[in-house]
Amino acid sequence: MDKGQVAEVLVNIATLLELKGENPFKTRAYQNAARTIETLSEPLDKVVAEARLGDIKGIGEALQQKITELVTTGRLQYYEDLKAATPPGLVAMLDIPGLGSKKIKALHDELGIDTVEKLEQACKDGRIAGLKGFGEKTQTNILEGIERRRSYASRHLISEALPQADSMLEALRSHPDVVRCSAAGSLRRHREVIGDIDLLASSKQPAEVIEYFTSQPGIIKVLAKGETKASVLLEGGIQADLRVVSDAEYSSALLYFTGSKEHNIVMRQRAIDLGLRLNEYGLFHSKEETRDPKLLAKCRTEEEIFEKLGLHYIPPEMREDMGEIALAEKGPLPRLIEWTDLKGSLHNHSTWSDGHQCPEEIAKAMRELGLAYWGITDHSKSSFQANGLDATRVRQQLKEIAAINATLAKEGTDFRLLTGTEVDILKDGSLDFPDDLLAELDVVIASIHSSFNQTEAETTQRLIGAAQNPYVHILGHLTGRLLLDREPYKVDQRAVIDACAETGTWIELNAHPKRFDLDWRLWPYAKSKGVKCVINCDAHRFEHAGFLRLGAGIARKGWLTREDVVNTLPLKALLNELGRKRAKAR
């Protein structure tokens, strides 16, 4: 077992112990041990083999035994027993927001509730409100939480759907009977969350393509299968639909099935206004609904359809009926940002807080990816659960990064690490670090990580206050939402954007696929106010560098161009921009 797997078992043990009602010190010991193991700088099996676990702070004798058993045998009897003794329904309840181990234990002890279904019924019967420590409001919240869970369950993050769609498209492309194929639907529009994967192919032998598609690996179940379309359920629970059309129909089918539905309605009406008909089978010279090939306005590509409708090409990401059609009527659309325009990420973590690699390893990896810079912005001290840094450790980290950069310079490479912090915006709106410390750092991101339950006015004021600090460059993940997991906290986003415009503060587009925060729907407003965007990975591991690509897709949905995004700048120009707000304050 590797570090990550061992840490996961330890965290699970802590949770199970909490459900059992064990004392908090014992559960805390497991959580801390998990963190320690995960961020260990040497291989765990080596430490175990050399019997040096005891040298590690916070790993007592009982934990040493358990970790050794896990590493050497791959399982742990204590964990297996604990799992067997806990009703699985209790563990499932942990997923409901506002329900911690303590409350779940109380529900179990008092009402015998051991499944989510029983809990839902008890809420509906009004039996929860009367329990000590619960009340009407909690009961409503639990019920809403259960309902939200259910609606989340049928939706998926784009990061989960994309790789599956890519491998199916690759398979289709390799089939000799497939002429053209593409993703369509919300996936092609790069929505942050999608219902199902839509695929489109053109072929003279649709039945054979369908047969081939439904026999692909990774399919758990064929839900429907006809001559020209099929629906399958993929491992991981996402549904995929494939439609096969003739190549003559391909362009209009692609346009139609890419949507969105609202965009399609406006396009269809536009065709009617021009004396034409647009449907999934083609663009027709007709005043009535038709599929008659003789009336077809032959368009091989989507571009040609747009052109015949008097429109410039609209990229799929923009097809959301947000005014894009009116814009495409006036002239060519702005050239949207491409992910390859990005030169680095300014918000990232290292082992100094809750990241998984140290700055030196990160520098090496990001330089190899061909990036120009990478900000190390670990958490500040109030984020103790993320091992946040105090001022002393920040200054130690500054020295370490200066040394790494000196070595990079000596080696003759232009890549640089940027120093920084993701400083907590505290409950009262003050920042976790004083200005003089912030002034020493290349990049300062201010984020909210606590007190999510304040009023909209309070949270908005907290963020505006942070924007007004002359040393804060960027507001991080503005609403704190976790897609399909946690609702955003209440905040007047436009008021915060206005404050950023006034103070010259940038706003992050956090490219973590669970965040994509600020939401794409608000970027046109931010842009209209002159607020710049920074597409940040919020990386905690090497692999998260790939979020740049996803983030750029979301920025495209927000109509952003390269000029709107600060981290498309080369290093020197970026450093210049980073100095701007501070110079203004002086």
User: Which chain residues interact with Ca ion by CB under 5 A?
Assistant: 185-186, 196, 198, 241
Dihedral of the CA atoms 40, 41, 43, 46 (nearest 10)?
-90
The span from the CA of 63 to the CA of 61, in Å, is 5
Choose the binding region for Zn ion from 52-60, 310-318, 537-545, 570-578 (rule: CB under 5 A).
537-545
> Any idea which residue has 């049928």 for tokens?
154
Q: Where are the alpha helices (DSSP H) in 74-205?
A: 77-84, 88-93, 101-111, 116-124, 135-153, 158-173, 185-188
Interatomic CA distance for residues 282 and 305, integer angstroms: 9
Q: Total residues at the site for ligand DGT (CB under 6 A)?
A: 15
Report the C-alpha gap between 78 and 360 in whole angstroms.
38
For 288, the token pair is 């009535």
Using alpha carbons only, give the angle 261, 266, 269 rounded to the nearest 5 degrees: 120
The two three-digit tokens of residue 185, written as one number: 């639907």
Among 354, 538, 545, 566, binds Zn ion (CB under 5 A): 538
Q: Which stretch binds ligand DGT (CB under 6 A): 256-264, 459-467, 514-522, 547-555?
A: 256-264
Q: How far apart are CA 553 and CA 555, in angstroms?
A: 5
Least Å from the CB of residue 39 to Zn ion: 16
Residue 38 within binding range of ligand DGT, rule CB under 6 A = no
Nearest distance from C-beta of residue 242 to ligand DGT, angstroms: 12
Measured from the CB of residue 282, what is the shortest distance to ligand DGT in angstroms? 15
Binding test (CB under 6 A) with ligand DGT, winner from 265, 402, 457, 573: 265
CB atoms within 10 A of CB 407: 12
Q: Closest CB to ligand DGT among 121 and 269? A: 269
Nearer to Zn ion, 249 or 538 (CB): 538
508 is a site residue for Zn ion (CB under 5 A): no
* Among residues 38, 241, 422, 442, the one that binds Zn ion under rule CB under 5 A: 422
Q: Pick from Ca ion, ligand DGT, Zn ion, none: which does 257 bind, CB < 5 to 8 A by kind?
A: ligand DGT
Partner whose footprint covers residue 561, from Ca ion, Zn ion, ligand DGT, none (CB < 5 to 8 Å by kind): none
The burial class, CB within 10 Å (0-12 / 13-18 / 19+), for 235 is exposed
Which one of the spans 161-169, 255-263, 451-459, 522-530 is the region binding ligand DGT (CB under 6 A)? Answer: 255-263
253 binds ligand DGT (CB under 6 A): no
> Which residue has 């497991």 as its token pair?
30
As measured in angstroms, the least distance from the Cβ of 154 to Ca ion is 12
> Cβ of residue 397: shortest distance to ligand DGT, in angstroms?
42
Q: What is the dihedral of CA 90, 96, 102, 106, to 10 degrees?
A: -60
Cis peptide before 518 (omega within 30 of 0): yes
Residue reference for tokens 């989960």: 160
Residues 230 and 210: their CA atoms lie apart, in Å, by: 7
CB 391 → Zn ion: shortest distance, Å?
Answer: 19
Q: Does 354 bind Zn ion (CB under 5 A)?
A: no
Q: Which does 422 bind (CB under 5 to 8 A by kind): Ca ion, ligand DGT, Zn ion, none?
A: Zn ion
Whose Cβ is closer to Ca ion: residue 114's or residue 317's?
Answer: 317
Residues that bind ligand DGT (CB under 6 A): 185-186, 191, 194-196, 198, 256-261, 264-265
Residues that bind Zn ion (CB under 5 A): 422, 538
